[in-house]
Amino acid sequence: MRTSELGRLHSRQASLERASGNMDKVQRQLSTGRKITVASDDAAGSALALGHRRNINFENQMRRNLETGRAVLNAGEAALGSGTDLLQRARELTVNAASGTLSQSDRIVVALEIDQIIAGLAQLGNTQFGGAYLFSGHQSNAPAYAVTGNPPTAVTYQGDTGQRLRRVSEQDTVAVNVPGVEAFASIFDDLIALRDDLNGAAPASAINAHLTTIDDGLERMIAARAAMGARANRFETAQSVSEQRNVGLQELRSSIEEIDLPSTIVEFTAAQNALEAALGAIGRTSGMTLLDFLR
Amino acid sequence: MALSIGLDSAVKALRAHQVVVDTAAHNIANANTPGFSRQRVLLRPIGISGSNYFGRDALIGRVGFGVDAHDVNRVRDVFLDFQARQTLGSKAQWDTHAKALGKTEVAFAEPSDSGISEMLGQFWSAWHDVVNDPESSAARTTIVNAATTLSGRIRTAAQGLVVERADLDRQVAGTAERINSAAGEIAGLNFQIKQVELSGDVANDLRDRRDLLLDDLSKIAQISYAEQADKTVTVYLGSHELVQSNQARTVAAIPDLANPGMRKLIFEIDSEDVTTTSGELRALLDARDVDIPGMRTKLDQLASGLINATNALHSTGFGLDGSTGLAFFTGVGAVDMDVNAVVAAAPQKVAAASGAGLPGDGSNALRIADLQSSLAMAAGTQTFDQYYANMVSVFGADVKRSEGQAESSGLLVDHIESLRESVKGVNIDEEVTNLNQAQKAYQAAARVISVIDEMLDTLINRTAV
């Protein structure tokens, strides 16, 4: 084919443009570490990557919810654990007092200890976590229990039965609280009545009757504690499942968005060779005319 | 047989080969001039037809009377010109389209850690933090900040589309000037070519210039043209006459009442719209009136979807201070979306609770956070995140398609241009060969003259009288 000066110039320019454009692209990928910087680099891939990113964000938030939720549950569980210990002690004292071997002055000492237990339980009922009262339901800005009198004549629940639900997965929401009325129930009234009976020299049988209510209270508290513990365990498992899922999602995302280093370096070398070849060919041929060979 | 006839032939040869040398010089001088077609001298022998006067001698007619450089031709293939102009128009169209869309796409650089999708993710996350700690003012401040950032990012993207459209509109108006300048010059060249060629000459270089202008015009818009008997070309832009003889119709950009804020091109003579199916103008109009508004509509839908869904839930909830009925977002679309200033100034008004006086209740915030998974967009088929991912990737596919078209039409242009250059372009080796040939012929003709001179000398001075 006949060639012309301009034609040769254009084809050289075109081949140089292609070679250097190709190298530029690979170089940019290498320096950013990314295959996709705008959606047109891979339209379908970018839609997938955005979907993975959404899921990664969501999973991250779910893990945060689980993590902080577990801390709340643990705090509640610990409070109810101490409460259970206190109630056990109250039960022991009641069993002793009901045996009828105690003098009235001994009974008054027991009554004083019951007062301490009531105060201790009220304090546990008012456990705070992150500024919120754990057992107040939705009334989390106010202490769950208000104690009247010293020694206490009444312990009043100021909270409600609200459940503090949070999302822990695409499908599930779980409460991280147990309202005080559920965990403590009528324990305070029962203990106050017990104390009054102890102080008022009630017969042993009457003291004995309090065992039933204390046992009821214990049972409820243990149940509430177990429920919180079970949820905390469930959160822990869910957290590690989510972490694994996150690893998978991150891999998927990076396989779409990011370059594979070894193969990109090979690509870069190939592009570099192509550019060098184009430059070399131009360098060797461009100066050549018939004039070089005419005398 | 007279010696002077040989002398005359030799002089004609000198003259003809001087033209050959001049032409080679002109070709070499223009070896790198865009649009230049190489020129070729047509030599022909002068034979019997012009020699009746010497008819008595039978031999004279057989020998002939030398050479005549009777024409200097432009070497050019008009069919390749026609093909080239079609492909030039489509290459210019897709190049321009890909560039315009590529610029827009950068405003939505996704997937990234700073794009709208990430801001959207942070927005949903911040709601969960409010759910977890509804009484916490830190969590409430975080959701206000996340929503403010999201709104700002969406507004910036929408503003970017407005600016890009205005820029494209300026380019549309700019094409009017370019069309007018090319058309005006073609009309002028028509006049000159007609004058020159009427007198029997060939206006090679003027024709080259006119062909180059036709190339330029076909890059801007779809044109058709035909050369008339009087050597002028008539050019049509779309189906409207643009140049006829030495008259050019001017094109003007005027406000388009059907497309507020934008301009359209019309022919000034009859106010008819300029229409084109290819070229830069087509791409500019497509990007300005179809692609970018399409993206804007989707962005507006995303924004209004978020605003309405969030507000519907938020207004039924209660803040820490008992406030209720408040919108969370203000605005109706992408350009004016923002967090309600009342809520932003007092984050305790973020309506996390479902009832008044329930500081530990985050159930309304949970409902809002759950909007993330609700199929609120695209007629109940997509979530907000999916809708956004889809709009970005569809636009990316459009950009890719334009880039692909630009590349393939570019290859076609390269191919046809190289064919065209191989016909009309100057090859220096060839010109040097022509030059050498002409030089040799010139030297030989000079030699003929000196031989005849010696013969005459012999005849006149050496013959005894």
Average pLDDT rounded to a whole number, residues B98-105: 94
B369/A167 Cβ within 8 A: yes
Going by C-beta distance under 8 Å and a sequence separation of 6 or more, which residues neighbour residue B49? none
B392/A50 Cβ within 8 A: yes
Please give the ipTM for the structure prediction. Answer: 0.89
What is the share, in percent, of chain B residues with pLDDT greater than 90? Answer: 82
Query: Look-up: residue for tokens 């001049």?
Result: B22
Which candidate, A251, A254, A250, A252, places its Cα nearest to that of A60? A250
One-letter amino acid at A1 equals M
Going by C-beta distance under 8 Å and a sequence separation of 6 or more, which residues neighbour residue B298? B387, B391
Q: How many helices (H) and strands (E) in chain B? A: 12, 10
Q: How high is the pLDDT of residue A235?
A: 96
Going by C-beta distance under 8 Å and a sequence separation of 6 or more, which residues neighbour residue A205? A98
Confidence of residue A289 (pLDDT cuts 50, 70, 90): confident
Which candidate, A26, A24, A3, A21, places its Cα nearest to that of A268? A26
Q: Which residues pair with B45 in a beta bridge?
A: B67
Strand runs (DSSP E) across B284-373, as ranges?
A: 329-330, 338-339
Going from the C-alpha of B276 to that of each of A124, B320, B410, the distances in angstroms are 81, 62, 20
Residues on chain B touching A47 (C-beta within 8 angstroms): 389-390, 392-393
Q: How high is the pLDDT of residue B62?
A: 65
- CB of A130 within 8 Å of a chain B CB? The answer is yes
A162/B124 Cβ within 8 A: no
Cβ proximity of B125 and A167 under 8 Å:
no
pLDDT one-digit tens code per residue, A14-42: 888 888 988 998 998 999 999 998 899 99
pLDDT above 70 for B2: no
Substitution target in A138, A172, A285 with the highest count of B β-carbons within 10 Å is A138
> What is the 8-class DSSP label of residue B334?
T
CA B306 vs. chain centroid, Å, equals: 39
Substitution target in B361, B382, B436 with the highest count of A β-carbons within 10 Å is B361
A139/B358 Cβ within 8 A: yes
Substitution target in B120, B128, B435 with the highest count of A β-carbons within 10 Å is B128
d(Cα B276, Cα B263) in Å, to the nearest integer? 15
B31/A6 Cβ within 8 A: yes
Which candidate, B78, B75, B45, places its Cα nearest to that of B62? B45
Residues on chain B touching A140 (C-beta within 8 angstroms): 134-135, 359-360
Cβ proximity of A224 and A187 under 8 Å:
no
One-letter amino acid at B438 equals A
Average pLDDT rounded to a whole number, residues B149-167: 96
Average pLDDT rounded to a whole number, residues B24-37: 92
Q: How high is the pLDDT of residue B70?
A: 85
Backbone angles phi, psi at A34, to 5 degrees: -120, 140
Phi-psi bin for B77: left (phi > 0), alpha (psi -120 to 50), beta? beta
User: Given the DSSP bridges, would you call strands A165-167 and A173-175 parallel, antiparallel or unpaired?
Assistant: antiparallel
Which candidate, B324, B49, B281, places its Cα nearest to that of B175? B281
b/e per residue A155-171 (b: at least 16 CB within 10 A):
bebbbbebbbbbbbeee
Give the residue from chain A lying closest to B403, CA to CA. Answer: A40
A165/B363 Cβ within 8 A: yes
Of A5, A38, A60, which is closest to B426 when you measure between CB atoms? A5
The shortest C-alpha distance from A11 to chain B (Å) reads: 8
Which candidate, B234, B236, B203, places its Cα nearest to that of B218? B236
User: Given the DSSP bridges, would you call strands B223-227 and B233-237 parallel, antiparallel or unpaired?
Assistant: antiparallel
Average pLDDT rounded to a whole number, residues A165-185: 95
Cβ proximity of B194 and B230 under 8 Å:
yes
pLDDT above 80 for A295: no
Give the residue from chain B lying closest to A54, CA to CA. Answer: B121
Radius of gyration from C-alpha coordinates of chain B = 38
CA angle A207, A208, A214 (to 5 degrees): 90
Average pLDDT rounded to a whole number, residues B43-50: 73
Give the residue from chain B lying closest to A164, CA to CA. Answer: B361
Burial label, B62 (beta-carbon count in 10 A; 0-12, 13-18, 19+):
exposed
Torsion of CA A219, A225, A230, A234, to 10 degrees: 160
Confidence of residue B1 (pLDDT cuts 50, 70, 90): very low
pLDDT above 50 for A183: yes
Of B135, B370, B393, which is closest to A39 when you measure between CB atoms? B393
Going by C-beta distance under 8 Å and a sequence separation of 6 or more, which residues neighbour residue B95? B283, B406, B410
Kind and range of the H or E run holding B244: strand B240-244
One-letter amino acid at B453 equals D
User: Angle at which helices A187-199 and A204-257 pack, to 10 degrees?
Assistant: 150
Torsion of CA B166, B167, B169, B175, to 10 degrees: 170
Q: How high is the pLDDT of residue A177?
A: 95
Q: How many helices (H) and strands (E) in chain A? A: 7, 6
Average pLDDT rounded to a whole number, residues A65-74: 96
Confidence of residue A231 (pLDDT cuts 50, 70, 90): very high
Confidence of residue A288 (pLDDT cuts 50, 70, 90): confident
**Alpha helices (runs of H) in A103-203, residue ranges in sequence order:** 104-125, 180-183, 187-199
Residues on chain B touching A290 (C-beta within 8 angstroms): 428-429, 432-433
pLDDT one-digit tens code per residue, A97-151: 998 788 999 999 999 999 999 999 999 999 999 889 999 999 999 999 999 998 9
The count of other CB atoms within 10 Å of the CB of residue A2 is: 10
Of A3, A44, A133, which is closest to B427 when you measure between CB atoms? A3
Compute the Cα dihedral for B331, B332, B334, B339 and give only its sign: positive
> How many CA atoms lie less than 13 Å away from B4 in the CB half-sphere?
1
Burial label, B281 (beta-carbon count in 10 A; 0-12, 13-18, 19+):
buried
> How many CA atoms lie less than 13 Å away from A44 in the CB half-sphere?
1
pLDDT one-digit tens code per residue, B271-318: 999 999 999 999 999 999 999 999 999 999 999 999 999 999 999 999
Give the residue from chain B lying closest to A49, CA to CA. Answer: B111
Confidence of residue B49 (pLDDT cuts 50, 70, 90): low
Give the residue from chain B lying closest to A140, CA to CA. Answer: B360
pLDDT above 90 for A182: yes
Q: How high is the pLDDT of residue B57?
A: 56
Cβ proximity of A144 and A183 under 8 Å:
no
Q: How high is the pLDDT of residue A257?
A: 92
- CB of A1 within 8 Å of a chain B CB? The answer is yes
pLDDT one-digit tens code per residue, B371-384: 999 999 999 999 99
Cβ proximity of A59 and A249 under 8 Å:
yes
Q: How high is the pLDDT of residue A64?
A: 96
The count of other CB atoms within 10 Å of the CB of residue B374 is: 12
The shortest C-alpha distance from A15 to chain B (Å) reads: 11
Query: Look-up: residue for tokens 């605005």?
Result: B331
Average pLDDT rounded to a whole number, residues B16-23: 94
Substitution target in B40, B120, B132 with the highest count of A β-carbons within 10 Å is B132
pTM of the model: 0.87
Average pLDDT rounded to a whole number, residues B375-394: 95
Backbone angles phi, psi at B356, to 5 degrees: -75, 145
Of B135, B390, B433, which is closest to A141 when you measure between CB atoms? B135
Residues on chain B touching A53 (C-beta within 8 angstroms): 111, 117-118, 121
Going by C-beta distance under 8 Å and a sequence separation of 6 or more, which residues neighbour residue A288? none
pLDDT one-digit tens code per residue, A72-105: 999 999 999 999 999 999 999 999 999 878 899 9
